[in-house]
């Protein structure tokens, strides 16, 4: 008999929750089949079968809190898969069909009319019976004020706690600007086929924003720093966190050394993050750290928002939906594809002037992408 145990948990994580059993007692399991999923504060871990056999018993049900190496269930590795034979077809003996007798002619009996007074009484009785039956057959109207109580997942609890902590422990403020996306849209249209052919990845918006953020972080290092007690920690590198939505909640994997990455590398990494976020296969180390965060609410249609800081970071950039709006260019009203930008920052470490200049730096880099190539 083999024990199905909680795997070794990532560093700094002491317990987990049984998220979902993929097998039930009596099921035959092949080697490497996923038996159960364990959810930690940051990731979901799959527990595969180390041996083939039959799952004989589940010791920890879904929703239970477990610790590292705790036994979750028992696997009978000596049991073999039972092949169920299809039942043999039954031979049905044909029975000769006997013809029905000819229809008998029934002589009609003349109906005798009831007296008028009796007819009224019968009709009233029928009406009363009909009303009673209609009441019995009526389906009760279901209330639409139903409620359902569902326990929060560990990931959702962690997200809630971190967001609440960010709002309570920082002097968060948001500044806004807007960017004309015309040049980026033109560049994407001109080079998207050549870019995809060379790098086997599509050219999206995120690589432009990451590059613009990196160049701006170099100019304003305080935006790339954070508070630790009575000290300010400055970073000589840019690890950009990218907010990615998944079915289990928001995760924020990190582009390590984003200042060294080319645009095609950024696009590939972000696409990989998005795919594995849906699978739940991102590692804890991939979501730890980060010096600055970018969140794109525009993919969901958000026009404007105030993103919450990703502690202990001091700033987060919010992207939004691009839509055509009338703007004034050289004294004339023209229609341009515009996007609102939002920068939320911790006023304890970043001054308002610095935050505004940082956001303008990003705006200028995006409106004139040549700046990203020339790094000016």
Active site members: 347, 351
The per-residue b/e assignment along 87-123, b for 16 or more CB within 10 angstroms, e otherwise, is: eeeeeeeeeeeeeeeeeeeeeeeeeeeeeeeeeeeee
User: CA 366, 368, 371: angle at the middle one, nearest 5?
Assistant: 95
- As a three-state string, the secondary structure of 155-181 is HHHHHHHHHHHHHHHCCEEEEEEEEEC
Determine contact, residues 351/197, Cβ cutoff 8 Å.
no
Nearest to 315 by CA among 351, 283, 284: 351
Determine contact, residues 251/184, Cβ cutoff 8 Å.
no
What is the rounded CA–CA span in Å between residue 159 and residue 317? 18
What is the rounded CA–CA span in Å between residue 170 and residue 167? 6
Determine contact, residues 209/269, Cβ cutoff 8 Å.
no
- 47 forms bridges with which residues in the sheet? 36
Judge if the upstream peptide bond of residue 252 is cis by omega within 30 degrees of 0.
no
What is the rounded CA–CA span in Å between residue 32 and residue 89? 37
Angle between the N-to-C axes of helices 182-199 and 352-367, in degrees from 0 to 180, rounded to the nearest 10: 60
- The 3-state DSSP class for residue 112 equals coil
What is the rounded CA–CA span in Å between residue 277 and residue 294? 16
Determine contact, residues 49/75, Cβ cutoff 8 Å.
yes
Determine contact, residues 73/58, Cβ cutoff 8 Å.
yes
- 140 forms bridges with which residues in the sheet? none
């Amino acid at each position: 008999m083999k024990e199905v145990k909680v795997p070794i948990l990532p560093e700094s994580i002491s317990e987990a929750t049984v998220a979902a059993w993929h097998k039930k007692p009596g099921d035959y399991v092949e080697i490497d089949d996923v038996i159960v999923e364990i959810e930690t504060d940051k990731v979901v871990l799959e527990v595969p079968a180390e041996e083939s056999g039959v799952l004989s018993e589940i010791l920890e049900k879904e929703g239970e809190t477990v610790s590292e190496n705790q036994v979750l269930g028992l696997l009978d590795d000596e049991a073999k898969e039972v092949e169920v034979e299809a039942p043999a077809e039954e031979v049905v003996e044909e029975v000769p069909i006997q013809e029905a007798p000819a229809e008998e002619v029934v002589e009609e009996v003349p109906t005798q009319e009831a007296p008028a007074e009796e007819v009224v009484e019968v009709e009233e009785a029928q009406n009363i019976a009909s009303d009673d039956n209609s009441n019995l057959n009526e389906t009760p109207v279901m209330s639409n004020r139903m409620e359902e109580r569902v326990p929060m997942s560990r990931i959702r609890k962690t997200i809630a706690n971190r967001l609440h902590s960010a709002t309570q422990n920082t002097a968060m403020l948001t500044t806004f600007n807007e960017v004309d996306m015309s040049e980026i849209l033109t560049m994407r249209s001109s080079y998207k086929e050549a870019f995809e052919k060379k790098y086997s990845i599509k050219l999206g918006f995120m690589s432009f924003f990451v590059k613009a953020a990196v160049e701006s972080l170099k100019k304003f290092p305080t935006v790339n720093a954070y508070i630790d007690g009575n000290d300010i920690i400055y970073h000589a590198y840019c690890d950009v966190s990218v907010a990615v939505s998944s079915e289990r909640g928001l995760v924020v994997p990190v582009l390590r050394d984003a200042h060294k990455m080319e645009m095609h590398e950024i696009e590939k990494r972000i696409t990989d993050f998005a795919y594995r976020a849906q699978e739940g296969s991102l590692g804890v180390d991939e979501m730890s750290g980060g010096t600055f965060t970018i969140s794109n609410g525009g993919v969901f249609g958000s026009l404007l928002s105030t993103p919450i800081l990703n502690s202990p970071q001091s700033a987060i950039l919010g992207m939004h939906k691009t839509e055509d709006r009338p703007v004034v260019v050289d004294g004339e009203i023209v229609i341009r594809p515009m996007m609102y930008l939002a920068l939320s920052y911790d006023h304890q470490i970043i001054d308002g002037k610095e935050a505004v200049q940082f956001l303008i730096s990003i705006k200028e880099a995006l409106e004139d992408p040549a700046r990203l190539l020339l790094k000016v």
